[in-house]
């Protein structure tokens, strides 16, 4: 593993071997997390000072038990986050990933963007095929009928909000202890299994089964000498010393520099 810290006074240090790996790849898979949206003003979860879990107890807000106990409090908290996200804009990291998808499509490479983020900023930046494995703040599900749909108007008038069928609405995000959406997880696992270049970007990779996708990709690397893994994150993670390239810097700075090198401009 090579560690490439970025110097904040200069351009991010992009290894030439990584640029070549992107240019030569047949299939690229990317797993993003909250760090990618941090520069858009959306708090991460686990950053010690600014992360949401520094301020709120996840067990009181992000579990089915919390919703059953205090549906008004939980739905209001999610609705406030939805309102905040609506005011935020995608940042250069989101746009660079949309550009990477376009480059891959034009070069007939397979490209899969898997996100744990529930904010839809990738889509707003122009990414077309995004697998949302932890759901979305914009989708809400009726707890009576199970019907799920987009709710684009915000905020709700009452908490907890109700569906037309009269059931309580809950955000269609994946809480602790809940299964990830089966189809999305299957597509994500396929993409991690079959790619020859796997990136984790802006994620602490602490939460399973999403973090297990890194192990899936590494298994492929063990079998094929041409498969590679790369981490782009502000801080080192427990996976940093097991990837081929660990680049430590802000994704909103590293990704635009990386795509510039790939497109040779
Ligand atoms: C920057 C940056 C910048 C900052 N640029 N970088 C195996 C072992 C141990 C435990 C488990 C296990 N398997 C399952 C579990 C239990 C649990 C789990 O993983 N717990 C661990 C925390 C220990 N997992 C689950 O419960 C999952 N469900 C499950 O396993 O179900 C089993 C089941 C099967 C069948 C039937 C029934 C059940 C579900 C997990 C759902 C996670 N949900 C959340 C909340 C979503 C809704 C919401 O938004 O409120 O998802 S938790 C939260 O963590 C959110 C995120 O998507 C997820 C990951 O966080 P992420 O994105 O990595 O953010 P951070 O904050 O952790 O990291 C940000 C990083 O960015 C940092 O490293 C910074 O340095 C960096 N950064 N600025 C680049 N500018």
For residue 146, what pLDDT is reported? 98
For residue 12, what pLDDT is reported? 79
Give 26 Cα–ligand 1 centroid separation in angstroms: 29
Q: Is 134 among the residues known to form the active site? A: yes
Q: What is the CA 153 to chain-centroid distance, rounded?
A: 23
Residue 235 makes CB contacts below 8 A (sequence gap 6+) with 248
pLDDT at residue 105 greater than cutoff 60: yes
Q: What is the mean pLDDT of residues 39-54?
A: 95
Ligand 1, atom 2, lies closest to the CA of: 35
Ligand 1, atom 39, lies closest to the CA of: 176
- Among residues of the chain, what percentage have pLDDT more than 90? 90
Give 181 Cα–ligand 1 centroid separation in angstroms: 15
Q: Which residues line ligand 1 (CB under 6 A)?
A: 33-35, 38-39, 44-47, 51, 62, 116, 118, 134, 173-174, 176-179, 202-204, 206-209, 233-235, 237, 250-252
- Tell me what the pLDDT averaged over the chain comes to: 95
In what side-by-side order are the strands of the sheet with 169-173?
148-150, 135-142, 169-173
For residue 253, what pLDDT is reported? 98
Say which residue, 6 or 51, is predicted with more confidence: 51
For residue 94, what pLDDT is reported? 98
Burial class (CB in 10 A: 0-12, 13-18, 19+), 209: middle
Our mutation pick for probing the ligand 1 site, out of 8, 45, 141, counting the most ligand atoms within 8 A of Cβ, is: 45
Q: How far apart are CA 63 and CA 147, in angstroms?
A: 20
In what side-by-side order are the strands of the sheet with 110-115?
2-5, 245-248, 228-233, 197-201, 27-32, 110-115, 130-132
How far from each other are the two terminal CA atoms of the chain, in whole angstroms?
27
In this predicted model, what pLDDT tens digit does every residue of 172-200 receive, in sequence order? 999 999 999 999 999 999 999 999 999 99
Q: Which atom of ligand 1 is nearest to the CA of 32?
A: 62
Give 185 Cα–ligand 1 centroid separation in angstroms: 14
- pLDDT category at 7 given cuts 50, 70, 90 is low
Dihedral sign for Cα atoms in the order 248, 250, 252, 253: negative
Give 46 Cα–ligand 1 centroid separation in angstroms: 9
Q: Which atom of ligand 1 is nearest to the CA of 209?
A: 13
For residue 197, what pLDDT is reported? 97
Active-site residue among 8, 94, 122, 134?
A: 134
- pLDDT category at 258 given cuts 50, 70, 90 is very high
Q: What is the mean pLDDT of residues 250-262?
A: 98
- Among residues of the chain, what percentage have pLDDT more than 70? 95
Ligand 1, atom 45, lies closest to the CA of: 175
- Are the CB atoms for 259 and 99 separated by under 8 Å? yes
Q: What is the mean pLDDT of residues 141-153?
A: 98
For residue 4, what pLDDT is reported? 66
- Are the CB atoms for 120 and 85 separated by under 8 Å? yes
């Amino acid at each position: 593993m090579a560690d490439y810290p970025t110097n904040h006074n200069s351009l991010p240090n992009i290894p030439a071997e990584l640029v070549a790996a992107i240019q030569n790849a047949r299939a690229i898979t990317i797993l993003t997390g909250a760090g990618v949206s941090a520069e858009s003003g959306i708090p991460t979860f686990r950053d010690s000072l600014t992360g949401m879990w520094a301020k709120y107890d996840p067990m009181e807000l992000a579990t089915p038990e919390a919703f059953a106990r205090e549906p008004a409090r939980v739905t209001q908290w999610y609705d406030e986050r939805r309102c905040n996200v609506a005011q935020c804009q995608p940042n250069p990291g989101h746009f660079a990933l949309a550009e990477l998808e376009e480059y891959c499509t034009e070069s007939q490479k397979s490209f899969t963007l898997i996100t744990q983020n529930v904010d839809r900023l990738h889509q707003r930046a122009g990414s077309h095929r995004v697998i949302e494995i932890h759901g979305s703040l914009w989708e809400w599900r009726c707890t009576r009928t199970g019907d799920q749909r987009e709710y684009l108007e915000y905020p709700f008038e009452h908490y907890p909000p109700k569906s037309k069928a009269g059931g309580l609405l809950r955000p269609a995000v994946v809480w602790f202890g809940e299964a990830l959406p089966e189809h999305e997880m299957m597509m994500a696992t396929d993409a991690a299994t079959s790619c020859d270049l796997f990136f984790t970007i802006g994620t602490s990779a602490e939460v399973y089964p999403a973090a297990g996708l890194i192990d899936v990709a590494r298994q492929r690397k063990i079998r094929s000498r041409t498969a590679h893994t790369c981490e782009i994150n502000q801080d080192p993670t427990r996976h940093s010393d097991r990837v081929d390239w660990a680049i430590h810097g802000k994704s909103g700075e590293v990704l635009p520099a990386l795509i510039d090198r790939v497109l040779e401009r």
